[in-house]
Amino acid sequence: MLYREAGDFKTSYGDDSQTFPIKLDRWAYWALLAVALAVIPFIVNDYWVNAVFLPFLIYAIAALGLNILTGYCGQVSLGTGGFMAVGAYSCYKLMTAFPDVNIAFHVIISGLITAAVGMLFGLPSLRIKGFYLAVATLAAQFFLVWLFNRVGWFYNYSASGQISAPERTLMGFRITGPETQAWATYLFCLVFVIASAWICRNLTRGSMGRKWMAIRDMDIAAEIIGVNPLRAKLSAFGISSFFIGVSGALFFAVYLGAVEVGEAFGINKSFLVLFMIIIGGLGSILGSFLGAAFMVLLPVLLKNVLVDGLGWPTDLAAHLQFMISGGLIVLFLIAEPHGMAQLWRITKEKLRMWPFPH
């Protein structure tokens, strides 16, 4: 009734293959963009940006990246934390080596460096798949963290082994360092998120995305119909790592400002991002966002409700938070094994019929 496609006529091929075929979806999309770009920057404060928006936006980019590799191309990866570390350390080295270049370029170049590293570690995927590949990428995770911990050049030989982001600007506005404005860092990350989602959407529905999905669904069949597995798999590793590298660079430079590789980019991070795409929905752009929101925002929400709202002891709240998050994950996966994106798809189908299902 409310959610319908009647009267929405498609008169061209362009109309027919658009991302949001239903008018209501298009409106919602443009309204969301307008709010995110034109309303939120005026009302955010430090708390909302640093505790809610920045982690959500940055993890959304990481989830988009991993979703290309795992969701679309079917290559399981546990190296996300390591690749994020590559992005962060490349960004640090670039920021300190070229202080006059603006930060946006550093972030993009960090992504490119990570893409190269990702392709290198993607080479084993040509010979092995499934769990065996997961183990090979796990090696990447441990190797990269070890490397950044071990070799002083990566952290400019600082005494603590930490890297910390110096102040860098974009068009005169501070983006990194302690004296940033909340809206500036928010908009900076938001632009990267919008660009990433737009690129991902268009890559995955084009010929490249079709090749990835063919490889995912049955690699031998894909090879027979003319998909080059070498190029498909390595491009998936490269592009996926690019986005993960960008998110790592933003995570370090804009969000935290100082990181320690073992703590910030350990194996837990790899699992966190993997859980995001599994819960959000494999092979779905929307799913990456939903998964990131679920994993990042739920703990903050629970903490605010239980500790600040109800005044419960912090340790009780922390334990409850584990239980509630864990319980909800199980519940979601039982209700819909294909993730929250599929849940939303089904809801949409039902809403189209409502209130007169056949």
Partner 1 sequence: MKKLITAMVLGSVCAGPVMAELTFPSLSYRTGPYAANGIPFADGYADYFTLINERDGGIGGEMINMIECETGYNTEKGVECYESTKGEGALLYQPLSTGITYQLIPRVSADGIPMHTLGYGRTSASDGEVFEWIFNYPATYWDGASVAIKYLLDENDGSLEGKKIALVYHNSAYGKEPIRTLTELSEEHGFELMELPVDHPGQEQKSQWLQIRREQPDNVIMWGWGVMNQVAIQEAVNIRYPMDQFIGIWWSGSENDVRPAGDRASGYKALNFHAVGDDFALYDDLEEYVWSKGLAAGAGDQAGTVLYNRGIYAAMIAVEGAKKAQEIHGVTDITPAQMRDGMEQLEMTEETMTELGLEGFGPTFSASCSNHGGSGQAAINQWNAEADSWEVLTDYIQSDQDLIQRLVEEDATAYAAENNIERRCE
The length of the chain is 358
Q: What is the distance in angstroms between the CA of the first residue and the CA of the last residue of the chain?
A: 14
- CA dist list (Å): 70 to 32, 54, 184, 282, 347: 27, 24, 32, 7, 25
- Minimum CB–partner distance for residue 131 and partner 1 (Å): 23
b/e code 63-92 from CB counts within 10 Å (16+ = b): bbbbbbbbbbbbbbbbbbbbbbbbbbbbbb
CB-CB contact of 64 with 287 (8 Å): no
Q: Give the contacts of 249 (CB within 8 A, at least 6 positions apart).
A: 87, 88, 90, 91, 106, 107, 110, 111
Q: Give the contacts of 336 (CB within 8 A, at least 6 positions apart).
A: 342, 343, 346
Nearer to partner 1, 174 or 345 (CB): 174
- Minimum CB–partner distance for residue 55 and partner 1 (Å): 7
Nearer to partner 1, 266 or 283 (CB): 266
- Minimum CB–partner distance for residue 278 and partner 1 (Å): 21
- Minimum CB–partner distance for residue 69 and partner 1 (Å): 24
- CA dist list (Å): 75 to 207, 212, 251, 267: 18, 10, 24, 18
| CB atoms inside a 10 Å sphere around CB 162 | 13
Nearer to partner 1, 22 or 318 (CB): 318
Nearer to partner 1, 95 or 215 (CB): 95
- Minimum CB–partner distance for residue 40 and partner 1 (Å): 17
Nearer to partner 1, 118 or 266 (CB): 266
Nearer to partner 1, 186 or 242 (CB): 186
Cα 59 versus chain centre, distance: 4
Nearer to partner 1, 229 or 262 (CB): 262
- Minimum CB–partner distance for residue 254 and partner 1 (Å): 12
Strand-pair category, 169-170 with 163-164: unpaired
DSSP label of 86: H
Nearer to partner 1, 16 or 179 (CB): 179
Whether the bond into 229 is cis, omega within 30 of 0: no
- Minimum CB–partner distance for residue 68 and partner 1 (Å): 25
- Minimum CB–partner distance for residue 46 and partner 1 (Å): 6
DSSP label of 166: P
Of the candidates 228, 219, 190, the one whose C-alpha atom is nearest the C-alpha of residue 60 is 190
Residues that bind partner 1 (CB under 8 A): 45-47, 50-51, 55, 149, 159-162, 164, 166-167, 177-179, 255-260, 262-264, 266, 300, 303-304, 307-308, 310-319
